[in-house]
Structures are given as C-alpha cells and as structure tokens.
Amino acid sequence: MSSILAAFVTAAGFVLCIALARHDAVESAESWSKVLMMPKNAAIAVAAVLILLDVACVAMAVALTVSAVRLNKIHKAESKKAEKPRFSRLEDVEKAYGGKKIQKQPGVPAAAGTASLKSFASGFRNYAAYECGLYYEPDVIRAYIAGMASTKLTILEGISGTGKTSLAYAFGKYVGNTSVVTPVQPSWKDRTDLLGYYNEFTGAYTETELLCKLYEANLTDKVYTVVLDEMNIARVEYYFAEFLSLLELPDTEARRLRVTSDSRPSDPPLLTGGTLKLPDNVWFAGTANNDDSTLAISDKVYDRAFVISLNSRSQPFAAPPTGPAPISASELSRLFDAAVTADPLSQEQQNRLEELDRYLRAHLGITFGNRTMKQFLRFVPVFKAAGGSETDAVDAVVANKILRRMDGLNPVVCRREAEGLDRMLDALFGKEEMKRSHAFLERFRGGEV
C-alpha cells in the first residue's frame, strides 16, 4: 500500500513538472517566479525542493517495491516450509499403524492371559539361555520383572561383561518387541540428545530411533524396552531430567514430552502443541559400569529407579528349548496388579522395615521415604509371584536401594556401624537371612570402602 502511494505521488510530481515546463509563460526563471507568485530566488528554491521530493518519492517507491517483493518471497517460503512435513519418519509410523491405538497386541496367544508370573519368569530365564546363550540366576530374572512392576526405570550396574545390556535386550525379544538400544554419549546434556532436534537449514526434524519408538508405543499395546547403554558416561540428571520428572506424575495423560517449541498443521496428529505423550507401556533400563570412565549417579536418580547389581557371571545350565512369549503391556500390568492384590507385603515385614528405618536414622542418618516404601509394596509381591521368597525380595530392596546410600557417607562411620547393623538385620529378619545385605556390609567390615 505504501509503495502504491509513493508511486502515485511520484507520478503526480512528474505530471506537474511536465505541465509547468510546457506552459507558455515559464520560459525563464522570471516566468517561474510569476507563475508561482514568488520572488525569483524563492521560486528557484521551491522548484529545487519539488525536484528533490520527487526524487525521494521515486527512491521510496523503489525501496518499498523491493521490500514488498522480498517479504512476499519470505512469506511464500515460510508457507511452503510450514506445509512441508518435518517429521517424515513419524509420518511413516503413523501410516503403518493407521493412526489408531491397537487395544490388543496381534499375535498374543489366548493362553497368555492366564499365564502366571512364575512361568513367565522361568520362561524368560530359559529363553535367554537357550536362544541367546545368556545365563542368569533366577533371582536376577525375578528382580528385573519385579523392578518393572515397581518403577519405570531399572538400573543394571556392575563390572563390564556381566550381561547388563544383554539382559534388557533379551527381555525385549522374549516379549516379542525388540528393545531400543540407545548408546549414551559423553557430550549429552539435554533431552534433544534423546529425542532429536529441528534443523533450521533443512526445515526438517532430525528424528531419533527413540522418538520413533515412543510415537509407535502410543499406537500399540506392546511392551517397549528402552536400553540406555552406559547411561552414566554422561550426567543422567541432565539428559534424562525431563523423563525423570514425567515418570513421577500419577496422571499418565499428563506425561507429555516437549519435542518442538511450536506446532504446525503438518505435524503428526499425536504431536499436540509440540509435545508427545510418554506412554505407560514403555520401560527404561539403564546400564552403568563402575569404573574410572563413568560419572557417579545421583541419589535423585537412584531413588526413582530399581537397582540390580551384576558383579559376576552366572554358571551355564542346560535350558529346555524355549521360544518367545509375546505379551501385551496391559496383560503384563494386570499380572503385576493381581500379584500385589493377592499376596501383599505382610504387616510383619512392614513393621520390620519401620524398625530398620528408625535404626538407620539414629546411627547413620539415612532413611527411606514414601517412594521407596511404594516400591517395596509392589516389588515384593511380584518377586514372590515370580517364584522367589519374601525375605529374598526384601533383602534385594534393602541392599540395593537403602544400604547403597552408605557409599556416600564417611567410610570411618560406616566401618564403625557395620557390625551393629549386621546384628540388627539378624535380629529383625533372622540369622543370615539377608544375604545380599550382609555381603554389602562385609565391604566395610573388611576395610574396603
């Protein structure tokens, strides 16, 4: 509009100048003076100003026209970019599943609905040995499954070569949905390292395999296992912070990951306002080596996870031919809930844990809060339903979730209190019943810190 007005003013100026120039009475400066009814010098000045204004109008018209053309090109480019899908891989996932959440995973045998956690755990151990050549103690398998019932994050830590990554990977194959193995890099600092980022130059989003699997998980009822391989080679509290916060929310619908800062009409339908729901059928398993190349994992992360220590290789055994046992996430959750309802943690054990908590507060200044107790209430019944004993289940949580906090205390204090804590465990749970806990305390009694 401004360019049109400038062009109109310029044209009017030209017409005025031409009209004056062709007038019979304006053949000299004196004539101009008479026409403009001004003194000679004033007439010359006015004429000069008119010419300068005319030139300025021409320049303005040209500048505004160029600017309008440029803005139009930018607008067209932005419109074209907005119309172009920036999530090509997510669009492929959407098309593959028809945009509808599958209520029951295809291929699940009818008998899977009546399977017990005991047969499920036993089958997984035999499958890992027969199909993958991986050998684990029964309690390790039970702890992994029970850990899934109590939290969405399991940390498998220990020395290298004990089968930490393989355990989580084999579980994905066993339930009929291959695990997503994500190797953590030392430079990772935020969620973009896990989910990808928007590339301003290409106008497309760099989609990671994890992002695609999270989108797919929103469309199916399969069990998804995400393996964060060598998770402590970078700061877990940095790159996994958003996941840790969302997994704590009781309302699963409110667990939405921020993927982009804006929303476009061409984005896949499950990306609402640039966010994607973190589905409830996804479990995370992080492997952590204990050596000089890794970083310490904070209590914030440990508190939200279940920890399984793998510090030795299990002995091979002859496993019967065993195939995978596909199971839906809803069916697996139903088995977990049924175990908790049918055989909850006994009041006697809860009283013992309360007594242990008081002792630890008084002598070591450590305690376990509501989150750990909630994990107790789900872990122990599922561990028992998978074929283990209640004492072994309690021992696993005490050793890996509670006594582990002693690693951050003064070694002299821990060495001094280790023997008394040993006696307390025997008094509460029975002589030498808490084998893992006693083995943990042996490090301090023997002088190892």
Task: Write out pLDDT tens, residues 39-49.
Answer: 656 656 666 66
CA 73 from chain centre, in angstroms, equals 38
Higher pLDDT, 406 or 61: 406
Spatial distance between the Cα atoms of 217 and 173, rounded to a whole number of angstroms: 16
Q: Residue 175: which H helix or E strand, with range?
A: none
pLDDT at residue number 113: 41
* For residues 271-299, average pLDDT: 91
Whether this model's pTM surpasses 0.75: yes
Tell whether the model's pLDDT for residue 34 goes beyond 90. no
* For residues 267-275, average pLDDT: 93
Higher pLDDT, 284 or 204: 284
Tell whether the model's pLDDT for residue 111 goes beyond 60. no
Looking at domain 87-309, which of 3.40.630.30, 3.40.50.300, 3.40.50.880, 1.10.540.10 is its CATH number? 3.40.50.300
High-pLDDT (> 90) share of the chain, %: 62
Higher pLDDT, 6 or 336: 336
Farthest CA pair distance, the chain: 127
In the numeric block, the tokens 């109590």 are attached to: 150
On average, the pLDDT of the chain sits at: 85
Higher pLDDT, 53 or 83: 53
Of 131, 116, 211, the C-alpha closest to 171 is: 131
In this structure, what is the dihedral angle of CA atoms 85, 87, 91, 97, given to the nearest 10 degrees? -160
In degrees and rounded to multiples of 5, residue 289 shows phi and psi of: -85, 145
Spatial distance between the Cα atoms of 404 and 291, rounded to a whole number of angstroms: 17
* For residues 79-93, average pLDDT: 78
Higher pLDDT, 35 or 245: 245
Higher pLDDT, 95 or 37: 95
DSSP character at residue 314: P
* For residues 12-41, average pLDDT: 56
Higher pLDDT, 357 or 1: 357
